[in-house]
């Protein structure tokens, strides 16, 4: 694989998309390729939800969620429980709380504000968190394909799930993320939409690199 060309002094790459679209895997690989720090912003919301769960608080307690978001520290993002299926559903509920999003917005923008830049993936990076990002990608795939991917992933971890249940979860999360009043899931007007339904990880990576390499020469 050819070595990447030097990036501009500051290069923020914003990657958005629905659950199981492949954006996280792609973002991590792009960050490694270009030598940039990477933040999976979904982990922030999962960490807030897990904080509430560990404290015995309700996920519907918006005040407690806002306090947990304001006090979130980076060490919480290393908890392996954040990757469990249930935490994705919990994070989707927490992410609809405006005060939580406000608290985590500053967290994400500080991460993106490093001198070299960064790669961030989530659901509102190009629209809210980093609206001036040099590159904006919106990664998507059909709900059926995303469900198949997530089913394989969870199965590899030993979680007992059915494809039908995963598809129902994904469709519910899509509807909730797209309809929330604050920072709904959508592609930024200037984002490049990359449908990965029929792409393997290497093909998606090559397509994303082509977009980034074009952007840095403009």
User: Binding residue per annotation — 21?
Assistant: yes
- Taking CA atoms, 182 is separated from 63, 140, 160, 189, in Å, by 17, 21, 33, 17
User: Binding residue per annotation — 58?
Assistant: no
User: Binding residue per annotation — 164?
Assistant: no
- Taking CA atoms, 43 is separated from 16, 24, 174, in Å, by 14, 11, 17
> How far does Cα 181 stand from its chain's mean position?
18
C-alpha to C-alpha distance for 42 and 203, rounded to whole angstroms: 24
User: Binding residue per annotation — 122?
Assistant: no
Mark residue 154 as left, alpha or beta (left: phi above 0; alpha: psi -120 to 50; beta: remaining): alpha
Q: What's the CA angle centered on 193, arms 188 and 199, to 5 degrees? A: 150
The contacts of residue 31 (CB under 8 Å, 6+ apart) are 13, 37, 38, 118, 119
User: Binding residue per annotation — 25?
Assistant: yes
Place of tokens 């990576």: 205
Tokens of 164: 């039908």
Please give the full DSSP string across 48-80, using - where no structure is assigned. Answer: HHHHHHHTT--TT-HHHHHHHHHT--GGGGG-G
User: Binding residue per annotation — 178?
Assistant: no
| Closest C-alpha to 48, from 102, 129, 117 | 102
Known binding site for ATP: residues? 17-25
- Annotated binding-site residue numbers: 17-25
């Amino acid at each position: 694989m050819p070595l990447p060309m030097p990036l501009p002094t500051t290069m923020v790459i914003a990657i958005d998309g629905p659950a199981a679209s492949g954006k996280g895997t792609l973002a991590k690989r792009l960050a490694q390729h270009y030598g940039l720090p990477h933040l999976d912003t979904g982990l922030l919301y999962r960490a807030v939800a897990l904080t509430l769960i560990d404290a015995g608080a309700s996920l519907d307690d918006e005040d407690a969620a806002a306090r947990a978001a304001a006090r979130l520290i980076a060490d919480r993002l290393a908890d392996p429980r954040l990757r469990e299926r249930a935490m994705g559903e919990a994070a989707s509920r927490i992410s609809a709380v405006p005060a939580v999003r406000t608290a985590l917005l500053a967290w994400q923008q500080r991460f993106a504000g490093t001198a070299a830049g960064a790669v961030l993936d989530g659901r509102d990076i190009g629209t809210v968190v980093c609206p001036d990002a040099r590159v904006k990608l919106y990664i998507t795939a059909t709900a059926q394909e995303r469900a198949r991917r997530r089913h394989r992933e969870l199965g590899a971890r030993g979680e007992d799930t059915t494809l039908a249940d995963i598809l129902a979860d994904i469709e519910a999360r899509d509807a909730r993320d797209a309809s929330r009043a604050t920072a709904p899931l959508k592609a930024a007007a200037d984002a490049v939409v990359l449908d990965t339904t029929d792409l393997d990880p290497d093909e998606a990576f090559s397509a994303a690199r082509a977009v980034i390499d074009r952007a840095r020469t403009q």
